[in-house]
Chain A
Amino acid sequence: MSQAAEFTAPYRLEYPYKRGLGPVLGAFFTGLRSGQLVGVRSAQGEVFCPPTEFHPSDAQALTEMVPLTGQGTVETVYWIERPAPHHPIQRPFGFARVRLDGSDSFFVHALDTQGDSSLAQSGLRVAPRWRVERQGAITDIEAFVPIDQASSPEPCDGDAIERAVIPVGLDYVIRAGVTQSTFLTHLKDRRLVGRRSPDTGQVLIPPRGACTTSGEVCDEQVEVASTGMVTTFSVIRIEFPGQRLPPPYVCAAIVLDGSDVPLIHLVGGDPDEVRMGMRVRAVWTDEPQASMEAIRFFEPTGESDAPFEQYAEHL
């Protein structure tokens, strides 16, 4: 029944996010790079590590930084027998909440007991195992380990840290949906097939899962021509990542003959020649493809322009 399985595509969302830290988190990360855990003290004398800039109970700003020994006691462990690739330790380990000596909150990090879950229990005395090369990140600590396995960090100093680059990467698998998949299948045959709304009788292309005005399902498929007219357009002169044509190029709203809605696409040729009302036709790629990119761009047909009245309603 569904052809949608063909229309799946992987998509990776990733960015190296640049974060301002402010003085409190800045001090925390500077401390990490030095191999020192630093907390923040509230007016009531509580110490939080990792430090938070604001008190959860009364929202007061917290600013007084307090050094800690880094030693502490495990309070809770969640053991992971089969780590995933995104986990910090790639043999059986636990995520743990550790009550650091001198702190009133918990430090959350990996707990590495060499794969021995019986050791990873509440009450275990632990300390950080520091990375040799550190940059001012939570991963400067590789994991917490039983105290007798911890050792002093190698020195690693520098200017106060005020910003951090923290990359994020997520993988998605995107599906096109039933209506869109059908539309894309027709594009592979170089056919532009829209849908007619049962209420308005108008043809929408590209088709959506419903008539956009009434919200009713549009079952009737209607083929439209691959020629049409430019209603309005812009000449893109700015460069940006992911562009398909080098600027300057034209991005236009084109109403195909037989359609009642404009479709956004590229117009090739000399950008200075493009006009409102210009008649255009689709230029297809040599290789058929089930994608909007099957149309490389639209080009002028050379016919005389459509009169303003014909496209005025689309503006």
Chain B
Amino acid sequence: MNDATAAGPALALPSIEAVEQGLRSVGYIPSRQIATAVYLAHHLQKPMLVEGPAGVGKTELARSVAHWLRLPLIRMQCYEGLDEAKALYEWKYGKQLLYTQILKDKIGSVIGDTDGLGAALNKLHDFGDIFFSENFLEPRPLLRALQQPGGAVLLVDEVDKSDQEFEAFLLEILSDYQVTIPEIGTVAAVTPPIVLLTSNSTRDLGDALKRRCLHLHIGFPDEKLEAQIIDSRVPGIEARLLRQLVSFVQQLRGLDLKKVPSVSETIDWAKVLVLLHASVLEVDLVRDTLNVLLKFEADIEIAGKQLATLTHKAQGDLSRIVGEVEAR
């Protein structure tokens, strides 16, 4: 482990500004609300529920926090039917069976010198729960997060895809950061992990879970923030092109589309434009690359009708953002 985190990550989070600077240093541009949330989540030791449309940087936030604090990122993807076995721990049944088979002779010889079934059973009981020891325990993400000595960042992705039983189970773990395995005992977290839950709002989460967490909503960024994000993620992009493409996407979000382009799509588009050596936005260029931004045919049609106007407006939108981006 690194000496910076030897005493626990508390040292790396002295203030909200420090969090902002730290996240920026690894390439994630947070809004002030995001930085506040991370700061509070750590100091209050509460999990953080992050909601928002797809592609705005929820998973990326977890990754960046882990990268910045140099903690391992443990990721658990939720799906319908996810249960305790897959999430917490499971016994290595195969290994247990294999070992019993292999050690059959040894077991036989150990019991061999006892007479009577009762004595043999007692002898076996004396061995305790050999086959249920830590060697045969397969820890799954939740348990692994608790076991990390220096703390970790636990990302529970798409919690809304799991079912209610799983939520209740998760709640139990998130309250005390400890879990009881009947055969082994209680495993408590040495350093409580920083927990992020993400949700795409496909269904309403249970109240108990929501009340337990800090609730952060990440929406689409405004022009200034988006320009900073793209500048950070696509190095070497020209200022003028950046301005224009951000302006274009912001306008696109105002249309009545089935799926509005989010930040990840903007970043992809910016990369494509840089690859094509574009220096300004042109109508034809936009038309050819529109499918990077919009993923539904219907949306491409709707945008296609207004393409010329949108592009021209984006081209004309000069002085506003340039000041902020260049002054950075």
A, B bound: no
| A→B interface (CB under 8 Å) | none
